Amino acid sequence: MEHNHEHSHLSNVATQTISRLALSLGLTALFVVLEAAAGLFANSLALLTDAAHNLTDVIALGLSWYAVSLTIRPSNSQKTYGYHRAGILVALANSTTLVLISLGVFYEAYQRFMSPPEVKSGVLIVVGIIAVVVNLVTALLVRRGSEHDLNLRSVFIHLMGDVASTVGAVIAGVIMYFTHANWLDPFVSVLIGFLILYNAWGILRETVGILLESAPRDVDMQAMVADIKQVKGVLGVHDLHVWSLAQNLRTMSAHILTDDLPISAGTEIQRQINEVVFHRYHIAHATLQLECVDCDPNLLYCEINEVNHQHVDATPQSR
């Protein structure tokens, strides 16, 4: 009953998230059309850059909406872990797209630095102010849960990057209105490009780490081993693996050395270890294999290649 209640709660949260993403998607798509038209009319690279960034936000919001929809699907015989990695793949796609956009912005800004065109600063200011409002509203719609979900965080950073960039565009527009310093338009675009690139790099690094099944950066493996050894009955730990299915879903597996104990005693040891890793390291799913001390332990971190070579060497060769 407790498990069913938790699953129902998560489904309700996901449903609310899907609704907020859909609303953000509609608002952002509508504004992209307006901002692109204004950028062409005002001959403003800053507005066109922000419109392009907003277009990637539309794609990002659409992919995130789909990924959240997938995560509430139950696991099955083909997807035994469910669809939790869908959000990570979306975050990877979002961050990669942002890197490519940044490079395009830098190239176009260079061309305009060489020959700054005339910019209609009044249009830039008005549309920029509207952009700040729209981006801020959509960012706040997806903020809830983004601190624990890399998929939502990638979208939230997209949108907050837009807020910062449009504020910069408005400031540049005001200065150009009084000084006619049209070089400020590509200059602001470069700043926007670096902001996009910085945010994209943080998401890209974390998604790659998860896809490579690296241990979470805030998990001290040696401290974890020491904590597990503090559990009564634990004599050693080896073949330890800790990884993330998603940013907020961690799992681990380990071989635990004990005395030759009855199953009931071993179950209590497993329960206590699960409590330790859950409360101290936020690991919700742990697979523990108990072994008596007479077993020959391997390395703390299992070398899979070495085990695989041993298996191949032991396999009879066909003639």
Q: Residue 167's domain is classified under what CATH number?
A: 1.20.1510.10
Same domain (yes/no): 206, 238: no
Range of the domain at 237: 221-314
Same domain (yes/no): 183, 42: yes
Same domain (yes/no): 225, 206: no
Mention every residue, 6+ apart, whose C-beta is less than 8 A from residue 293: 235, 236, 257, 258, 259, 260
- The yes-or-no verdict on residue 242 having pLDDT over 90 is yes
Which residues are paired to 244 by β-bridges? 250
Q: Which of 211, 238, 261 is the last residue of a domain?
A: 211
| Residue 108 forms part of a structural domain | yes
Same domain (yes/no): 96, 238: no
Same domain (yes/no): 249, 159: no
Mean pLDDT of 5-26: 68
63/52 Cα distance (integer angstroms) = 17
Same domain (yes/no): 166, 39: yes
Same domain (yes/no): 175, 240: no
Mean pLDDT of 193-210: 84
| Residue 199 forms part of a structural domain | yes
Pair 139, 94: CB distance under 8 Å: no
| Residue 216 forms part of a structural domain | no
| Residue 27 forms part of a structural domain | yes
Q: Mean of the per-residue pLDDT values for the chain?
A: 78
| Residue 24 forms part of a structural domain | yes
Q: How many domains does the chain have?
A: 2
- The yes-or-no verdict on residue 49 having pLDDT over 80 is no
Q: Residue 233's domain is classified under what CATH number?
A: 3.30.70.1350
CA dist 140 → 99, 145, 150, 219, 285 (Å): 24, 11, 16, 30, 31
Res 169: pLDDT: 74
Question: What φ, ψ does residue 220 adopt, rounded to 5°?
Answer: -85, 105
Q: Which of 174, 191, 211 is the last residue of a domain?
A: 211
Same domain (yes/no): 197, 255: no
* Higher pLDDT pick, 49 / 139: 139
Q: Which of 211, 246, 267 is the last residue of a domain?
A: 211
Same domain (yes/no): 150, 111: yes
- Please report which helix (H) or strand (E) contains residue 305, including its range: helix 304-314
Res 5: pLDDT: 41
| Residue 237 forms part of a structural domain | yes
Percent of residues, the chain, with pLDDT higher than 90: 14
| Residue 319 forms part of a structural domain | no
- The yes-or-no verdict on residue 227 having pLDDT over 90 is yes
| Residue 17 forms part of a structural domain | yes
Same domain (yes/no): 25, 174: yes
What does pTM read for this prediction? 0.66
157/196 Cα distance (integer angstroms) = 9
Same domain (yes/no): 196, 115: yes
Same domain (yes/no): 249, 188: no
